[in-house]
Amino acid sequence: MGEHLFGFNTDDEWDHENGFYLTSHPTRVAKLLAQYELYKSIVNLPGHVVECGVYKGASLIRLAAFRDSIENQYSRKLVGFDTFGVFPKPDNPTDAEFVEGFVDEGGEGIPVDELRRVLARKSYTNVELVKGDILETVPQYVADRDELKIALLHIDVDVYEPTKVILEQMFDRVVTGGVIVLDDYGAVSGETSAVDEFIQGKGLVVEKLPISHSPPFIRKN
Protein backbone atom coordinates (compact mmCIF):
# COMPACT_ATOMS: atom_id res chain seq x y z
CA MET A 1 0.00 0.00 0.00
CA GLY A 2 1.52 3.28 -1.10
CA GLU A 3 2.18 6.29 1.10
CA HIS A 4 0.29 9.50 0.44
CA LEU A 5 2.45 12.63 0.28
CA PHE A 6 0.62 15.92 -0.24
CA GLY A 7 -2.11 14.09 -2.15
CA PHE A 8 0.22 11.96 -4.28
CA ASN A 9 0.26 8.17 -3.90
CA THR A 10 3.83 6.84 -3.95
CA ASP A 11 2.60 3.67 -5.67
CA ASP A 12 1.91 5.85 -8.71
CA GLU A 13 5.37 7.44 -8.91
CA TRP A 14 5.95 6.35 -12.52
CA ASP A 15 2.58 7.73 -13.56
CA HIS A 16 3.41 11.04 -11.89
CA GLU A 17 6.78 11.20 -13.67
CA ASN A 18 5.29 10.27 -17.04
CA GLY A 19 2.52 12.80 -16.53
CA PHE A 20 5.08 15.55 -15.99
CA TYR A 21 6.97 14.84 -19.20
CA LEU A 22 3.86 14.23 -21.28
CA THR A 23 1.88 17.28 -20.17
CA SER A 24 4.26 19.95 -18.87
CA HIS A 25 5.29 22.93 -20.99
CA PRO A 26 8.78 22.56 -22.54
CA THR A 27 9.98 25.55 -20.53
CA ARG A 28 9.70 23.50 -17.33
CA VAL A 29 12.59 21.23 -18.29
CA ALA A 30 14.55 24.23 -19.61
CA LYS A 31 14.10 25.93 -16.24
CA LEU A 32 15.28 22.81 -14.41
CA LEU A 33 18.43 22.74 -16.57
CA ALA A 34 19.05 26.43 -15.92
CA GLN A 35 18.76 25.92 -12.16
CA TYR A 36 21.18 23.00 -12.44
CA GLU A 37 23.73 25.11 -14.33
CA LEU A 38 23.46 27.86 -11.72
CA TYR A 39 23.93 25.32 -8.94
CA LYS A 40 27.02 23.87 -10.65
CA SER A 41 28.53 27.36 -10.70
CA ILE A 42 28.67 27.54 -6.89
CA VAL A 43 30.12 24.10 -6.06
CA ASN A 44 33.55 25.56 -5.23
CA LEU A 45 32.14 28.33 -3.07
CA PRO A 46 31.44 28.23 0.67
CA GLY A 47 27.99 28.86 2.05
CA HIS A 48 24.46 27.56 2.32
CA VAL A 49 21.81 27.30 -0.36
CA VAL A 50 18.85 29.40 0.79
CA GLU A 51 15.38 29.39 -0.75
CA CYS A 52 12.85 32.04 0.20
CA GLY A 53 9.43 30.95 -1.00
CA VAL A 54 9.20 27.16 -0.93
CA TYR A 55 5.49 26.93 -1.89
CA LYS A 56 4.86 23.26 -2.77
CA GLY A 57 8.50 22.20 -2.37
CA ALA A 58 9.38 21.41 -5.99
CA SER A 59 12.40 23.68 -6.36
CA LEU A 60 13.70 22.85 -2.88
CA ILE A 61 13.59 19.17 -3.79
CA ARG A 62 15.46 19.95 -7.02
CA LEU A 63 18.12 21.87 -5.12
CA ALA A 64 18.52 18.98 -2.69
CA ALA A 65 18.85 16.58 -5.63
CA PHE A 66 21.50 18.78 -7.26
CA ARG A 67 23.46 18.99 -4.02
CA ASP A 68 23.38 15.28 -3.31
CA SER A 69 24.17 14.40 -6.94
CA ILE A 70 27.13 16.68 -7.66
CA GLU A 71 28.28 17.34 -4.10
CA ASN A 72 26.96 15.48 -1.07
CA GLN A 73 24.51 16.00 1.77
CA TYR A 74 27.26 17.36 4.03
CA SER A 75 28.73 19.85 1.53
CA ARG A 76 26.33 22.63 2.51
CA LYS A 77 23.02 23.15 4.27
CA LEU A 78 19.78 23.90 2.43
CA VAL A 79 17.52 26.39 4.21
CA GLY A 80 13.92 26.98 3.13
CA PHE A 81 11.78 29.91 4.32
CA ASP A 82 8.01 29.86 3.89
CA THR A 83 4.72 30.09 5.76
CA PHE A 84 4.11 26.49 4.65
CA GLY A 85 0.42 27.16 4.35
CA VAL A 86 -1.61 30.35 4.03
CA PHE A 87 0.04 33.21 2.15
CA PRO A 88 0.36 36.46 4.12
CA LYS A 89 -1.82 39.17 2.56
CA PRO A 90 0.35 42.01 1.23
CA ASP A 91 -0.47 45.62 2.03
CA ASN A 92 0.12 46.71 -1.56
CA PRO A 93 -3.18 46.40 -3.49
CA THR A 94 -1.48 45.15 -6.68
CA ASP A 95 0.44 42.49 -4.77
CA ALA A 96 -2.69 41.53 -2.81
CA GLU A 97 -4.60 41.05 -6.05
CA PHE A 98 -1.77 38.92 -7.46
CA VAL A 99 -1.64 36.70 -4.36
CA GLU A 100 -5.40 36.20 -4.39
CA GLY A 101 -5.32 35.07 -8.01
CA PHE A 102 -2.26 32.91 -7.44
CA VAL A 103 -3.86 31.07 -4.52
CA ASP A 104 -7.15 30.66 -6.38
CA GLU A 105 -5.28 28.99 -9.23
CA GLY A 106 -2.58 27.02 -7.42
CA GLY A 107 -3.78 26.59 -3.85
CA GLU A 108 -1.81 26.94 -0.63
CA GLY A 109 1.72 25.75 0.00
CA ILE A 110 2.79 22.38 1.34
CA PRO A 111 2.59 22.03 5.15
CA VAL A 112 6.00 21.90 6.79
CA ASP A 113 5.45 18.46 8.34
CA GLU A 114 4.40 17.07 4.97
CA LEU A 115 7.55 18.43 3.31
CA ARG A 116 9.67 16.89 6.07
CA ARG A 117 8.06 13.53 5.26
CA VAL A 118 8.97 13.99 1.59
CA LEU A 119 12.57 14.86 2.46
CA ALA A 120 12.82 11.86 4.77
CA ARG A 121 11.47 9.49 2.10
CA LYS A 122 14.10 10.75 -0.33
CA SER A 123 16.82 10.60 2.38
CA TYR A 124 17.61 14.29 1.95
CA THR A 125 19.18 15.50 5.17
CA ASN A 126 20.95 18.70 6.27
CA VAL A 127 17.86 20.69 5.29
CA GLU A 128 16.43 23.36 7.59
CA LEU A 129 12.86 24.58 7.16
CA VAL A 130 11.99 27.94 8.71
CA LYS A 131 8.24 28.40 9.11
CA GLY A 132 6.60 31.80 9.39
CA ASP A 133 6.19 35.18 7.73
CA ILE A 134 9.41 35.94 5.84
CA LEU A 135 9.15 39.59 6.88
CA GLU A 136 9.85 38.35 10.42
CA THR A 137 11.77 35.07 10.03
CA VAL A 138 14.44 36.26 7.60
CA PRO A 139 15.65 39.26 9.68
CA GLN A 140 15.62 37.14 12.85
CA TYR A 141 17.51 34.27 11.20
CA VAL A 142 20.21 36.60 9.87
CA ALA A 143 20.53 38.47 13.17
CA ASP A 144 21.04 35.22 15.07
CA ARG A 145 23.82 33.95 12.77
CA ASP A 146 26.88 36.17 12.46
CA GLU A 147 28.67 33.36 10.62
CA LEU A 148 25.98 32.92 7.94
CA LYS A 149 27.34 32.63 4.40
CA ILE A 150 25.19 32.03 1.34
CA ALA A 151 26.41 30.58 -1.95
CA LEU A 152 23.04 30.51 -3.71
CA LEU A 153 20.00 32.57 -2.73
CA HIS A 154 16.79 31.60 -4.51
CA ILE A 155 14.10 34.28 -4.22
CA ASP A 156 10.63 33.06 -5.18
CA VAL A 157 8.19 35.14 -3.16
CA ASP A 158 6.55 36.94 -6.11
CA VAL A 159 5.67 40.22 -4.41
CA TYR A 160 7.42 43.44 -3.41
CA GLU A 161 7.82 43.62 0.36
CA PRO A 162 9.28 40.17 1.12
CA THR A 163 11.61 40.47 -1.89
CA LYS A 164 12.84 43.81 -0.56
CA VAL A 165 13.41 42.42 2.94
CA ILE A 166 15.24 39.33 1.65
CA LEU A 167 17.62 41.42 -0.46
CA GLU A 168 18.25 43.95 2.30
CA GLN A 169 18.89 41.27 4.91
CA MET A 170 20.68 38.56 2.93
CA PHE A 171 22.55 40.17 0.06
CA ASP A 172 25.57 40.99 2.22
CA ARG A 173 25.71 37.36 3.36
CA VAL A 174 26.04 36.10 -0.24
CA VAL A 175 29.71 35.28 -0.89
CA THR A 176 31.67 36.77 -3.77
CA GLY A 177 30.81 34.80 -6.89
CA GLY A 178 27.58 33.62 -5.33
CA VAL A 179 24.26 33.67 -7.16
CA ILE A 180 20.96 35.36 -6.39
CA VAL A 181 18.29 33.57 -8.43
CA LEU A 182 15.23 35.72 -9.18
CA ASP A 183 12.38 33.39 -10.05
CA ASP A 184 9.77 36.03 -10.84
CA TYR A 185 11.90 38.93 -12.09
CA GLY A 186 10.35 40.35 -15.24
CA ALA A 187 7.24 38.24 -14.75
CA VAL A 188 5.66 39.66 -11.57
CA SER A 189 5.67 43.41 -10.97
CA GLY A 190 6.22 43.26 -7.20
CA GLU A 191 9.45 41.26 -7.27
CA THR A 192 10.66 43.11 -10.36
CA SER A 193 10.22 46.52 -8.72
CA ALA A 194 11.95 45.42 -5.50
CA VAL A 195 14.95 44.05 -7.41
CA ASP A 196 15.26 47.10 -9.66
CA GLU A 197 15.22 49.41 -6.66
CA PHE A 198 17.78 47.34 -4.78
CA ILE A 199 20.34 47.03 -7.57
CA GLN A 200 20.14 50.67 -8.69
CA GLY A 201 23.58 52.27 -8.40
CA LYS A 202 25.24 49.08 -7.13
CA GLY A 203 26.78 47.95 -10.39
CA LEU A 204 24.76 44.74 -10.33
CA VAL A 205 23.38 43.21 -13.52
CA VAL A 206 20.43 40.86 -13.95
CA GLU A 207 21.54 38.09 -16.32
CA LYS A 208 19.98 35.14 -18.11
CA LEU A 209 21.55 31.90 -19.23
CA PRO A 210 21.51 31.16 -22.98
CA ILE A 211 19.69 27.85 -22.43
CA SER A 212 16.66 29.41 -20.77
CA HIS A 213 15.21 32.86 -20.14
CA SER A 214 14.07 31.68 -16.73
CA PRO A 215 15.21 32.12 -14.07
CA PRO A 216 17.10 35.42 -14.25
CA PHE A 217 19.96 35.83 -11.77
CA ILE A 218 22.54 38.17 -10.32
CA ARG A 219 26.15 37.09 -9.85
CA LYS A 220 27.63 38.90 -6.85
CA ASN A 221 30.91 40.58 -7.68
Q: Compute the C-alpha angle 201/178/42, nearest 5°.
A: 155
Taking the complete model, does pTM exceed 0.75, yes or no?
yes
pLDDT of residue 37: 97
The predicted model gives 159-166 an average pLDDT of 96
Lowest mean pLDDT among 16-20, 74-78, 210-214: 210-214
pLDDT of residue 216: 97
| E strand map for the chain | 4-5, 8-9, 48-52, 78-82, 127-131, 150-155, 174-182, 206-207, 217-219
Quote the CA–CA distance of 191 and 187 in Å, as a whole number: 8
Q: Compute the C-alpha angle 110/196/31, nearest 5°.
A: 45
Sign, CA torsion 39/44/45/48: positive
CA 23 from chain centre, in angstroms, equals 23
pLDDT of residue 10: 82
What's the whole-number average pLDDT of the chain? Answer: 94
Q: Which of the two residues, 160 and 95, has the higher pLDDT score?
A: 160
pLDDT of residue 119: 97
